[in-house]
A and B are shown apart, each in its own frame.
Chain A
Amino acid sequence: MLASLEGAVTAATLALTAMGLSLVFGVMRVVNVAHGEFYMLGAVIAWFVSTTLGTHPAIGFVGALIVAPVLVGLLAAAADRLILARINYDPERTIVATIGLLYILQQSTLMTFGPDARPVEPPFNSRIALPWWRQGENGLEMFYPWGLATTSYKLFIIVAAVAILIGLWVLLTRTRIGLVMRATQADREMATAFGIPVERVYAMVFGLGAGLAALGAVLIVPVQQAHYLMGADPLLLSFIVVIIGGLGSLPGTIIAALLIGMSDGIISVFFSPTLAKILATLVVAMVLVFRPQGLLGKASA
């Protein structure tokens, strides 16, 4: 049970990060290898904000929640205008360019933020222990065993991620911006013909995608730490989630995030952890091999 709760925390941040990647992929049809670094930047900025404000952790946290995604989003949009737009979103060149971007962001962070993992204090954090019952001398007795506990902050992550995802869904389906994005996704030429400023939409999508990654990182950083190499794992996992979920399919992305987040914890109950990772990786790969369009993708992906 605890494993599934942990899985849900992983899934929640993963869903946000992967959603960013999925949006970029869905609308712009490019693979952003630097996505993990935007995630990392989100965590690092959260650390800077909370240490500069330095008062109550909650203020720093709220500050980071606003500042980090906005800054990262702006940076990403600038990168889009300066680099990606100029290479015309050619898929291969975009991969190289974003690998270059990855190096630049990573090294700049190493030089400014340093090589250490730095913790950010959660805005609130209390250990919630759950009781359990066992057959004792006086019949059934209640006790608090090891481990049957979680923290309030972890529950908050799940709630917050769900709220943000709902917000995103509203943005995409109920607003003009969302409509414009979906139109661009469906047919770029047609969108241009209808006077949609496709270039600006692209920059916005790229920024929004990076911002979502940063947001996921701000949420998770009080649990983990900010570190300049932290972007690699979320990048790999997001990739997997996006593909499994079906390219550009947002509900698919969420389901896949849940699946990946949960499967890891559950398989590891049965096997040695490293073997579990190997199996989980292969299972996911096999899903792709035998259902290349992803779980919810349309047949012709």
Chain B
Amino acid sequence: MTDKTPTRAPFTRRAALATLGATGASLAVPGLLPGLGGTAQAQSGDPIKIGFQVHRTGIGAAYGRWYDRTSQAAVARINDMGGINGRPVELVSEDDGTDPKRGAEVLEKFANQSNCDVAFGTLFSHVVIGSAPRAAELKLPYFVVSEGHHVASGMLNRYTLQPGITDVKSQVIAMAPFVGDNLGKKVTMMFADFAFGHDHRDFFSEAIKEQGGKVIKMIAIPPTETSFTKYFPQIPQETEVLYHVMVGPAVLTFVKEMGEFFGPSRPEIFGYIDSLEAVSIDSPGLEFLEGTYFWEGNPRYAQTDQTEFDKAFREAVGVDDSGASITDPADVSTYAHMFGCWETLNVIKAGMEACNYQGPEDRQALIEAVEAMTEMPASMDHPQGDKLFNGKTHQVFGVQYISKVEDGMLKVVHTTSIEDGFYPDEVDYTTQPF
């Protein structure tokens, strides 16, 4: 097992004595005081600790597993290159159960018990939003890899940043020109009746209007649904493009039943790969996807013009050319999202090096250092592609990929520019006090 729970920081003599004292004083409640972190000051040889909130259980577990593998690989690479400011990096992983309450508790554990320098991780927006207020109160920098619009919308706070993955609003806006120009103007949207789906609904219908197109029907699917055929008849016959974005374990059923519904006479279909993340494209029943289009955050199949960075990234994480685990070809990764963990960890490293981070007292300097970042060119630190970080909104913007299913593989047919996904700033976190 590579993801063992962290070993505790070695105690200094003084801290150990203080701890003993505290333990003595609280003998009245035995059993309440496991693993006192104490107040050990970081020494120069001590590792920099990055608290990693991970969806090990709950609905996000499929993502969590790959977020974990990617993060472990990124930290291994950072340590191979000499760590951060000469100190090794240690990933302190805690399961958040894909639950906002547990997520907040885990942040407290990072800040107050395992003495982490920063916190990082997680995909599901409700966990991020439930945790973020605690990050601000604990004054713990919290780097999220969620692709939600919550950071850039101004809902969160100065301690929460998203420097590794483009937010959904930008992704969606960048898709509209391609859909409008190449697939059709009359769009029907089917989306999960979740905040995530609503973001797609609102941002895309806005963006397609600017392309002279129109959303003619929106079908929200209740998140508890397991069978979808009954919703397809609501799709108007004049639909030119069907835009779908679903999440959760029932997504494969959704896509399969969509195929059974349409048969050979289907409109153009454009979907978010979220509908099929961690699911193999050649699963039984998905044959009809041939010729349909997908947004991909990062192309799952190695393309003919693959960059050396993508190649090395795959190798480091242990993913083959079709986006599956090297050891088990049936184990498909969440390739469109997990690069965000890798890139975020490299941003943390760059930020800590820029402000010569020594310990928790430098946390604000770290945030300012990251806020000062702008261009992040494609490199081994940023294998997904070029990025531009907006320090005011704490959000990064990157290129997006649109792939077509050909011969059972996803082939990139269009790469958006970073500018395609721009929208006016909605917040300036740099004006907020720490």
Contact = CB atoms under 8 A, between A and B. Distances in A.
B249 A146 contact: no
A146 B257 CA distance: 12
Contacts of A150: 229, 260
B252 A127 contact: no
Nearest to B65: A115
Interface residues of A, number: 43
Contact of A121 (B230, B251, B278, B284): B284
A38 B193 CA distance: 28
B224 interface: yes
A146 B263 contact: yes
B322 to A, nearest CB: 16
Given A2-B230, A3-B230, A10-B227, A224 B62 contact: no
A115 B61 contact: yes
A273 B225 contact: yes
A54 to B, nearest CB: 12
A224 B226 contact: yes
A147 B249 CA distance: 23
B212 interface: no
A117 B252 contact: yes
A229 interface: yes
A149 B258 CA distance: 11
Given A116-B62, A229-B249, A233-B226, A147 B284 contact: no
B237 A146 contact: yes
B109 interface: no
A3 to B, nearest CB: 5
Interface in B200-256: 219-222, 224-227, 229-233, 235, 237, 249-253, 256
A149 B260 contact: yes
Contacts of B283: 119
A144 B279 contact: no
B178 interface: no
Given A3-B233, A110-B61, A230-B249, A147 B261 contact: yes
Nearest to B228: A6
B224 A233 contact: yes
Interface of A: 2-3, 6-7, 9-10, 57, 107, 110, 114-117, 119, 121-122, 125, 127, 129, 144-147, 149-151, 223-225, 227-230, 233, 264-265, 268-269, 272-274, 276-277
Given A116-B278, A117-B279, A274-B222, 6 more contacts: A119-B285, A129-B263, A146-B232, A146-B263, A149-B261, A225-B249
